[in-house]
Amino acid sequence: MHIYQVEISNFCNLTCSYCPHPTQSRPKGNMSFSTFVDVVELAIQCGQKDLFLNNFGEPLLHPEIFEFISYAKTKGIECNFITNGILLDEAMAWRLSELGVRDIYLSEHLAGQKERIQAMFQENSIPLSIVYTYNPHKQEKHDWAGQVASKTTSSRTLTSTLEQYKPCIFETKKRVVVLWDGSINTCCIDVNGTGIVGSVKDYLGRTNEYEFHAIPLCQTCDLMRDE
């Protein structure tokens, strides 16, 4: 078992048409500190040294994100996250820097955020840098295995997907996602939680018992296969 992502919040300050988040049926919420403590313990048991605090939602919306990062650091776990950047201001940037974060992973869903953030870093001599930028307006978008309507959705079939692609990393490397309520999901793009296989507490001390089981989305998903 390996924690691929930790969804500390599945609230979002955007409603992008190319994302399944706006229509998800799963309840929304913020992860409690006590649940995060369990997540860190599970990560330690999995032999991990880092965690990414994002899945569906904007992590900077969580009011305790800095406390989470600070706590994890005391346990030898470094944290980072992917953000749309909209909420990232000078005070937040300095706080992240003080916590040892050096890299900002930006998913630029609102145009101009990369330039704004870079200028903020430079003007205030903040020792952070943008090391990753995804721009959905310039790069190819996928349909989240059919969860968002697109011209490719109707052409996807079980036969073509399974015959063309090898197993994804969630199967071959036993990756999991921890959702905001402590549930463990077997898939990172499963917005509605159909792949939930238990909770963090269920696997504390039992990480070697986790086994991947395919979910319906696997039939139409071509992401992270053969990696």
- Residue by residue, pLDDT tens for the chain (227 residues) are 999 999 999 999 999 988 999 999 999 999 999 999 999 999 999 999 999 999 999 999 999 999 999 999 999 999 999 999 999 999 999 999 999 999 999 999 999 999 999 999 999 999 999 998 888 777 777 788 889 876 544 444 444 545 556 889 999 999 999 999 999 999 999 999 999 999 999 999 999 999 999 999 998 888 888 66
Burial 78-116 (b: 16+ CB within 10 A, else e): ebbbbbbbbebeeeebeebeebebeebbbbbbeeebbee
Helix axes 113-123, 90-98, angle to 10 degrees: 70
Strands (E), 84-182: 103-107, 129-134, 175-178
pLDDT at 177: 98
Phi, psi angles (nearest 5°) of residue 34 = -65, -35
pLDDT at 143: 87
The single-letter code of the amino acid at 28 is K
pLDDT at 164: 59
d(CA 127, CA 96): 10
Domain 2-83+175-209 adopts which CATH fold?
A: TIM Barrel (3.20.20)
Q: How many other CB atoms are there within 10 angstroms of residue 59's CB atom?
A: 28
